[in-house]
Amino acid sequence: MPVMYCWECEDWVPCKVPENPTSDIYVWRRSPEQRGTLGKYPDIWWFERLRLCPEEHEVKTVEVDERLLDEVIRLRDLVELLAPASSALSRESKTLVKKIKGRNRNTNA
DSSP 41-70: -TT-EEEEEEEE-TT--EEEEEEE-HHHHH
Question: For the chain, how many structural domains are there in total?
Answer: 2
Question: Mean pLDDT, the chain, as a whole number?
Answer: 82
Indicate whether 59 and 85 sit together in one domain: no
Indicate whether 76 and 28 sit together in one domain: no
Indicate whether 35 and 20 sit together in one domain: yes
Indicate whether 10 and 56 sit together in one domain: yes
Indicate whether 57 and 27 sit together in one domain: yes
User: Does pTM top 0.85 for this prediction?
Assistant: no
Write down the pLDDT at residue 28.
Answer: 46
Indicate whether 59 and 105 sit together in one domain: no
Q: What is the extent of the structural domain holding 15?
A: 3-64
pLDDT (tens digit per residue) in 27-84: 444 455 566 666 788 888 888 888 899 999 988 888 889 999 999 999 999 999 998 8
Indicate whether 92 and 52 sit together in one domain: no
Indicate whether 70 and 92 sit together in one domain: yes
Indicate whether 54 and 77 sit together in one domain: no
The 10 Å CB-count burial string (b at 16+, else e) for 58-85 is: bbeeeeeeeeeeeeeeeeeeeeeeeeee
